[in-house]
């Protein structure tokens, strides 16, 4: 069965305060980083999944992202899907 790799980026929704990001931003300014106007912290999740088609893989990873990896009340997510098999176009 073809193997797919996926990367899911989970980020707090823009309207939700990110105190950890704010604290890191203030440390970055103390470090001397100039011009910094935004710093938000999210999560990056790498997975590998076997599926017969890319549609099946995509469906499974979307379900996973929406129901477990992110909480839609406070978080957004984006997905990138790759195939190890160059003949499968993702």
Partner 1 sequence: MTIGIVVFPGSNCDRDVQWATEGCLGIPTRFLWHESTDLSDLDAVVIPGGFSYGDYLRCGAIARFAPILSSLIDFVNSGGKVLGICNGFQILTELGLLPGALTRNQKLHFICENIPLIVSSTRTEWFEGVKCGDNIYLPIAHGEGRYQCNKDTLKKLQDDDSIAIRYKNNPNGSLNDIAGITNKKGNVLGMMPHPERACDDVLGGLDGRSILQALLAK
Which residue of 39, 49, 69, 90 would you call a contact of partner 1, by CB under 8 A? 69
The backbone torsions φ and ψ at residue 20, rounded to the nearest 5 degrees and listed phi first, read -65, -40
We find the least distance from the C-beta atom of residue 55 to partner 1, in angstroms, to be: 25
* Residue 31 CB contacts under 8 Å (≥ 6 apart), including other chains: none
The yes or no reply on residue 19 touching partner 1 (CB under 8 A) is yes
Binding segment for partner 1 (CB under 8 A), chosen from 1-9, 10-18, 55-63, 78-86, is: 10-18
What pairs with residue 78 in β-bridges?
Answer: 9
How many residues form the binding site for partner 1 (CB under 8 A)? 12
Among positions 25-44, residues that touch partner 1 (CB under 8 A) are none
Which residue of 14, 17, 44, 46 would you call a contact of partner 1, by CB under 8 A? 17
Which residue of 20, 29, 33, 36 would you call a contact of partner 1, by CB under 8 A? 20
């Amino acid at each position: 069965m073809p193997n797919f790799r996926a990367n899911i980026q989970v980020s707090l929704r823009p309207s939700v305060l990110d105190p950890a990001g704010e604290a890191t931003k203030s440390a970055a300014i103390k470090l001397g980083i100039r011009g910094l106007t935004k710093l938000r912290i999210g999560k990056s999740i790498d997975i590998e999944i076997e599926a017969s088609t890319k549609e099946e893989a995509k469906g499974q990873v979307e379900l996973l992202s929406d129901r477990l990896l992110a909480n839609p009340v406070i978080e957004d997510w984006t997905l990138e899907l790759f195939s190890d098999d160059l003949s499968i176009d993702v």
